[in-house]
Amino acid sequence: METLQITWFVLWAVLWAVYFMLDGFVLGIGFLSGVLGKTDTDKRVLINSVGPVWDGNEVWLITAGVATFAAFPTTYALMFSYLYLALLLLLFSLIVRGVSFEFRGKVDSLAWRKGWDTAIVVSSFLPALLFGVAFGNIFKGLPMDASGHHGGLLSLLNPYGILTGLLFVCLFAVHGALYTSVKTVGELSSRAFNLAKLLWIPLLLVAVIFLGYTAYATKLYDNYLATPALFLIPGIAVLALVMVQAQMVWNKPLRAFAASCVTILFVVFTGVTGLFPNLIPSSLDPAYNLTIYNSSSSQYTLTIMMVVALIFVPIVIAYKIWVYRIFKAPVTEQDVLENHEAY
């Protein structure tokens, strides 16, 4: 039973990390579109650069949510109860973002397009920030005891939660700018690459502050101090972040984007490794921590889920690889101008 619980904790971490790696560049492109998209054609190119993949990336979010629900139902129930308003705002933002992509080009009106352009920026920025705030509060621990959760939406906007939100925003901004530099050509690609170089500096600053403040605001480093070999995980995250800058200096946008992918993966792994075996720690009393042991499903349920995961997760991975290979060519202005079905 314990092996299954640990295995599902690892899978849960991987699902969230892969989701942030994949949807992170879509969110980044979304809230940077107002800066990168100088013309209507630029904005269409930006949207079409993620058009074939953005909704498929959402599958990983759904899978992470379903895995939480099925493997750790108590955590799922209490998390959606305690963080209801924040998660509802997050859900509405993701809905608006998808609708904005689809509806922007449906009416030939400048005011119509500008309205949806604003919606894309806002509905991309909010999830990036809110995901960071949510995970920051989970890393910090929620004020919960036998009486439930003692807090509300505003209590989540504490210094550490906001700092983690800013870290996610900065990560996704660099990630999105690098993806744009790879998936577009000409002036738009150059503009995105230069923006990524500029944004890396505040990302580094926020990351350094985050690592330092984490030691003060959370207990994430306890696992690392108990098992020093685990410091390899944040070490890889730091090295990957440095490699992002190095590859940009060497004018290698694709390699910089790959390094950005590794950075996001290992930033998430760093936080989740520090949480183990907790899923949501209590900041009031460790006796009320929600762990993989006191909130998991039965052994039978976890076993059935493992069989299903072993069958379908490789299929999803193969499908995603196929999609990215099919649409690997950069999107050009000519593509969107000639294709009336483009976004």
For residue 343, the model assigns a pLDDT of 65
For residue 327, the model assigns a pLDDT of 86
For residue 19, the model assigns a pLDDT of 95
| Burial class for 80, CB neighbours closer than 10 Å (0-12, 13-18, 19+) | middle
- Burial code (b: 16+ CB inside 10 Å, e: under 16) for 7-29 equals bbbebbbbbbbbbbbbbbbbbbb
Q: Could you report how far apart the first and last alpha carbons of the chain are, in Å? A: 48
For residue 134, the model assigns a pLDDT of 92
Distance CA 63, CA 57 (A): 10
Tokens 């950069």 identify what position? 330
Tens of pLDDT along the chain (343 residues) come to 788 999 999 999 999 999 999 999 999 999 999 899 888 889 999 999 998 888 888 889 988 988 899 899 999 988 888 888 888 999 999 999 999 988 988 888 888 999 999 999 999 999 999 999 999 999 999 888 888 777 777 888 899 999 999 999 999 999 999 999 999 998 999 999 999 999 999 999 999 999 999 999 999 999 999 999 999 999 999 999 999 999 999 999 999 999 999 999 999 999 999 999 999 999 888 888 999 999 899 899 899 989 988 898 888 889 888 988 888 888 888 877 766 656 6
Q: Give the domain 2-338 fold.
A: Formate dehydrogenase/DMSO reductase fold (1.20.1630)
Tokens 């630029």 identify what position? 42
The residue count for the chain:
343
Distance CA 153, CA 26 (A): 26
Please answer whether residues 336 and 45 qualify as being in contact, where contact means their C-beta atoms are separated by less than 8 angstroms. Answer: yes
196 Cβ neighbours under 8 A, 6+ residues apart: 174, 177, 178, 181, 248, 253, 256
70 Cβ neighbours under 8 A, 6+ residues apart: 297, 301, 305
The domain spans of the chain are: 2-338
255: left (phi over 0), alpha (psi -120 to 50) or beta: alpha
